[in-house]
Amino acid sequence: MVFSKLLCNAQDGLQAKRERRKEARPGELLDAALTLFVDKGFAATRVEEVAKLAGVSKGTLFLYFSSKEELFKAVVRANISGRFAEWNEELENFEGSTADMLRYALTTWWERLGSTQASGIIKLMMSEAHNFPDLATFYQQEVMQPGNQLIQRILQRGMDRGEFRAINMKYGVYIVLTPMLFLAMWKHSMGAYSPESTRLVPEEYLATQIDIILRGLCLGDAPTPLSST
Amino acid sequence: MVFSKLLCNAQDGLQAKRERRKEARPGELLDAALTLFVDKGFAATRVEEVAKLAGVSKGTLFLYFSSKEELFKAVVRANISGRFAEWNEELENFEGSTADMLRYALTTWWERLGSTQASGIIKLMMSEAHNFPDLATFYQQEVMQPGNQLIQRILQRGMDRGEFRAINMKYGVYIVLTPMLFLAMWKHSMGAYSPESTRLVPEEYLATQIDIILRGLCLGDAPTPLSST
Amino acid sequence: MVFSKLLCNAQDGLQAKRERRKEARPGELLDAALTLFVDKGFAATRVEEVAKLAGVSKGTLFLYFSSKEELFKAVVRANISGRFAEWNEELENFEGSTADMLRYALTTWWERLGSTQASGIIKLMMSEAHNFPDLATFYQQEVMQPGNQLIQRILQRGMDRGEFRAINMKYGVYIVLTPMLFLAMWKHSMGAYSPESTRLVPEEYLATQIDIILRGLCLGDAPTPLSST
Amino acid sequence: MVFSKLLCNAQDGLQAKRERRKEARPGELLDAALTLFVDKGFAATRVEEVAKLAGVSKGTLFLYFSSKEELFKAVVRANISGRFAEWNEELENFEGSTADMLRYALTTWWERLGSTQASGIIKLMMSEAHNFPDLATFYQQEVMQPGNQLIQRILQRGMDRGEFRAINMKYGVYIVLTPMLFLAMWKHSMGAYSPESTRLVPEEYLATQIDIILRGLCLGDAPTPLSST
DNA sequence: GATGAATGAGGATTCATTCAT
DNA sequence: CATGAATGAATCCTCATTCAT
């Protein structure tokens, strides 16, 4: 942030670099905002902090986003863009068993979203949904719905192919959804405060969850729960 | 809510109303604060709103809680006090199968906590953990730990009695925990914005989850997932 | 403050004591107020503190004084009452030398006012004069004027009897006044923060001041200052 | 007031006004705060008033001083910085009689401090000492001590050179100090409410005081007070 | 009378937003 | 375009004052 002052008697190369930074600004601001919003919540995050973290001045932030609220919306929008197209396509062409497909879907989700900053969006939406109802609705439509459909398609495939037993689709979707949402939330909140001994390793957690879910879903000699009184 | 214990004395007729109101105040304020903090978050909730919702003036709130932050802490503390004692005891004496025991534990959790306003505390802690590190630690110790131990005891019982297969205890606990945390979060956030058709009925969700988990946990002819590549 | 509750099945003696306390209330409140106003200033003193120091409730204070400002005025008025009558009379009949008379006047002032809580009024008036112009005027008339006249009478006597040299009366009065005002102020403010080694003993300070003043005032072979360039 | 040093650079024309204002701000605020604190006391002065008097908004004040209390401390510090260095030096090299030296010291004090707004600091410290114990201690060390030593050096010189009679040094210092403190206090408090006829002219008051003190201090045919009973 | 719970106007402080440079 | 000084609405909190008991 101080360095820019030093570039006055500039050669062309530096000029170019500055140009590039200029174009990168909005993205840097969105990253900074995401980080802070996730960490401290919308209200408790000061725009000046966001600007500082992005290496610009407070005024500059308002050059790109007309208000703090717009910044928030932009953060959400920027982090939900059509990753589903790609994901859908991959899964459309998936050839293996549906169990593997589910395993692959969740693992991929973790690698591409869950483990990145983007997962913070989930925490953010959960925390701030009531304060931004329009965003919450938007998020439902743009993220939850496509995601749910993707999960639903997997489950349907399993049932259609006789791999999974028939279950209520609505709750089936939630069952697959739950570990993802939990992981994203936990990572950005209480997770940091759990004692070392119980601290969760995401990949292991996910693997265990998938295992349980698949045991619960798959046909074969599925055990009936021991009693039902 | 705990304060009501205090008003059972003799000389009831005398200066009754004022006294009774005084004793009720903290509880009313805590309830109001819980509602608003859960809904809007800590920072976005104005103390005056809390006071108004509790039916008192701004100043009165500060008669009982020295600051907004103390109010927040009190809200968290008031809603986690010794609910585990009772729960523990009941389960200590549980006689049926461990599957039933788990079913009973989760159902009870929903009835006594999940379905009440107290579940908002979970959302609150997730949303604000980073802004109140000491509270987060406190919550870990006072809520998460006892809860985890309770779950752990159930799982251990199942394994000891040959009802459940052996699994890594740490992740076993998380698997049972996840649906509860999810339900509490969801209910207070995105849940309200999901389209009617996919809206979740907590009891049904929980039943489905328990079913899956038990199928995954229980011994007997447990199906191995169809493929493991 | 709690004790009063215990006096319910009261005998006559206690009844009388309470009666006496009741009459003493205003005085106790004025004392408490004086102490705190002197110490912390008018604005920084809370009426609740005053009430507590006087051993009554906040409400009771307002039974005797209709507002904080009225309490302040009452404090000032209560501490300037006609001590001058007595003092005047004593000095009127003074028989010794005027030097002794001055010495006596200042010593007496210290014993009767300066060394008591009443001296705090001087600090108070100095500190708050601008915020209570009417009180300041009142104080001028009721305290400063009579006091000045008393001093003036002494000086006049000294000059009339050829004991003192002739000096401008106005400044003569201030010269006698200064040590008293200084002592009263100092005692209630910076005095407490001066290092042990330089801490002032009021009686010694006063004696030294009187000595200097008398050397400066008295006729005889008064030394002219060494140079006047 | 000290800050003006900073604005003597080259590139004056460029973005001048804003910059210059920024540099002037703290000084303007300190001046305004001094005026109001002296007049109304710390507690009774509203920060908004200070800001308005300095010609800025409430918020701007907090850009330069993190709290009202810090502003107060800054006011005190800003008005006592190294005035003694200069004063000391002048007196170190003083050539005339010690009586003249004392006369010069007090006259100079009046011209440079007593007659300026800075004298208000004395009133301020006296009024608020108990509310700012750390500042009071700071003031003792930074102002009273150096001042006392300066006075002490003068008195010692007078005694060493056989010009003054031997007196207890501690009280000698207070005797010289008293008129200065009195003048500063009086001017900012009761002075304004004394009737025209007795209103004090500082220079004349000081001259009279010095005269009396010197008569009292100087050797030569010093008159013993007429009687000592 | 006495109490202390309740009130709410008033004041300190924060921070999103503007705008001159 | 970028800056950061300035603004003032918004909010927490205090405390003199009231009033039901």
Nearest to D223 among C136, C222, C229 (CB): C222
Instruction: Tell me the mean pLDDT in the region C32-59.
Output: 96
The model's confidence at residue B20, banded by pLDDT at 50, 70 and 90, is: low
Nearest chain B CA: its distance from A128 CA (Å) = 7
Residue A30 CB neighbours (<10 A): 21
Nearest to D194 among C96, C140, C214 (CB): C140
Structure-token pair, residue C176: 């006698």
> Going along chain D, which residue ranges are E strands?
none
How much is the CA Rg of chain B, to the nearest whole Å?
A: 21
Q: How long is the CA D66 to C1' E12 vector, in angstroms?
A: 11
- The C-alpha atoms of residue D144 and residue D137 are separated, in whole angstroms, by 10
Taking phi over 0 as left and psi of -120 to 50 as alpha, with beta for the rest, D10 belongs to alpha
- Residue C135 CA, distance from chain mean position: 15
pLDDT higher than 80, residue D58: yes
- Nearest by Cα to D175 from C206, C194, C187: C206
pLDDT higher than 50, residue C165: yes
Q: What is the pLDDT of residues D92-149, one digit of tens each?
A: 889 999 999 999 999 999 998 999 999 999 999 999 999 999 999 999 988 899 999 9
* Better-scored residue on pLDDT, C8 or B66: B66
Does A137 contact B193 at a Cβ distance shorter than 8 Å?
Answer: yes
pLDDT higher than 80, residue A225: no
Q: Which domains are assigned to chain C? A: 2-75 (1.10.10.60), 80-217 (1.10.357)
> Is A53 within 8 Å of chain B by CB?
no
> Is A131 within 8 Å of chain B by CB?
yes
Q: How long is the CA B17 to C1' F21 vector, in angstroms?
A: 9
Instruction: Tell me the mean pLDDT in the region C138-157.
Output: 92
The model's confidence at residue D21, banded by pLDDT at 50, 70 and 90, is: low
Residues 149-178 of A with CB under 8 A from B: 163, 167-168, 170-175, 178
> Is C100 within 8 Å of chain D by CB?
yes
Q: What is the pLDDT of residues A108-128, one digit of tens each?
A: 999 988 999 889 999 999 999
Probe site for chain B from A193, A200, A201 (most B CB atoms < 10 A): A193
Does D216 contact C219 at a Cβ distance shorter than 8 Å?
Answer: no
**B41-78 exposure pattern, b = at least 16 Cβ within 10 A, e = fewer:** bbbbbebebbbebbebeeeebeebbeebeebbebbbeb
> Is C134 within 8 Å of chain D by CB?
no
Probe site for chain B from A175, A188, A200 (most B CB atoms < 10 A): A175
* Burial label, B24 (beta-carbon count in 10 A; 0-12, 13-18, 19+): middle
Does B186 contact A181 at a Cβ distance shorter than 8 Å?
Answer: yes
Instruction: Name the residue with tokens 């008697």.
Output: A9
Q: What is the pLDDT of residues A23-73, one digit of tens each?
A: 666 889 999 999 999 999 999 999 999 999 999 999 999 999 999 999 999
Q: How long is the CA C110 to C1' F16 vector, in angstroms?
A: 36
How much is the CA Rg of chain C, to the nearest whole Å?
A: 22
- Residue C191 vs residues B182, D75, D131: alpha-carbon distances, Å: 65, 21, 14
The model's confidence at residue C3, banded by pLDDT at 50, 70 and 90, is: very low
Please write down the HEC assignment for all residues of chain A.
CCHHHHHCCCCHHHHHHHHHHHHHHHHHHHHHHHHHHHHHCCCCCCHHHHHHHHCCCHHHHHHHCCCHHHHHHHHHHHCCCCHHHHHHHHHHCCCCCHHHHHHHHHHHHHHHHHCCHHHHHHHHHHHHHHHCHHHHHHHHHHHHHHHHHHHHHHHHHHHHCCCECCCCHHHHHHHHHHHHHHHHHHHCCHHHHCCHHHCCCHHHHHHHHHHHHHHHHECCCCCCCCCCC
> Is A39 within 8 Å of chain B by CB?
yes
pLDDT higher than 80, residue A221: no
Q: What is the pLDDT of residues C89-142, one digit of tens each?
A: 888 889 999 999 999 999 999 998 999 998 999 999 999 999 999 999 999 988
H-run or E-run covering D21: helix D16-40
- Start-to-end CA span in chain B (Å): 56
- The C-alpha atoms of residue A84 and residue A141 are separated, in whole angstroms, by 13
Q: Is B218 helix (H, G, I), strand (E, B) or coil?
A: strand
* Burial label, A169 (beta-carbon count in 10 A; 0-12, 13-18, 19+): middle
Q: How long is the CA A73 to C1' E14 vector, in angstroms?
A: 23
Instruction: Tell me the mean pLDDT in the region C198-219.
Output: 94
pLDDT higher than 90, residue C183: yes
Q: What is the pLDDT of residues C64-95, one digit of tens each?
A: 999 999 999 999 988 876 677 778 888 888 99
Q: CB pairs below 8 Å between C and D: how many?
A: 230
- Start-to-end CA span in chain D (Å): 56
Does C223 contact D215 at a Cβ distance shorter than 8 Å?
Answer: yes
- The C-alpha atoms of residue A96 and residue B229 are separated, in whole angstroms, by 9
Average pLDDT, chain D: 86
Please tell me which residue lies nearest to nucleotide F20, judged from CA to C1': B18
Q: Which nucleotide is nearest to C62 (CA to C1')?
A: F17
Q: What is the pLDDT of residues B136-173, one digit of tens each?
A: 999 998 889 989 999 999 999 999 999 999 999 999 99
Q: What is the pLDDT of residues B112-139, one digit of tens each?
A: 889 998 899 999 999 999 999 989 999 9
Within C68-201, where are the H helices? Answer: 68-78, 83-92, 98-109, 120-128, 133-139, 145-160, 169-187
Q: What is the pLDDT of residues D156-206, one digit of tens each?
A: 999 999 999 999 999 999 999 999 999 999 999 999 999 999 999 999 999
* Better-scored residue on pLDDT, C136 or B14: C136
Q: How long is the CA D54 to C1' F5 vector, in angstroms?
A: 15
Percent of the residues in chain A that have a pLDDT greater than 70, as a whole number: 84
Percent of the residues in chain D that have a pLDDT greater than 70, as a whole number: 85
Instruction: Tell me the mean pLDDT in the region C12-16.
Output: 45
The model's confidence at residue A82, banded by pLDDT at 50, 70 and 90, is: low
Closest chain A residue to B120, measured at CA: A127
The model's confidence at residue B222, banded by pLDDT at 50, 70 and 90, is: very low
* Burial label, B160 (beta-carbon count in 10 A; 0-12, 13-18, 19+): exposed
Helix C202-217 with D169-187: angle, nearest 10 deg: 80
Chains D and C touch, using 3 or more CB pairs below 8 Å: yes
- The C-alpha atoms of residue A76 and residue A55 are separated, in whole angstroms, by 21
Q: CB pairs below 8 Å between A and B: how many?
A: 223
- Contacting partners of chain D (3+ CB pairs under 8 A): C
pLDDT higher than 50, residue D225: no
The predicted pLDDT at position A184 comes to 95
Instruction: Tell me the mean pLDDT in the region B212-229.
Output: 64
Q: What is the pLDDT of residues B72-98, one digit of tens each?
A: 999 998 887 667 777 888 888 899 999
Residue D110 half-sphere exposure toward CB, CA atoms < 13 A: 20
Sign (positive or negative) of CA dihedral C22, C23, C25, C28: negative
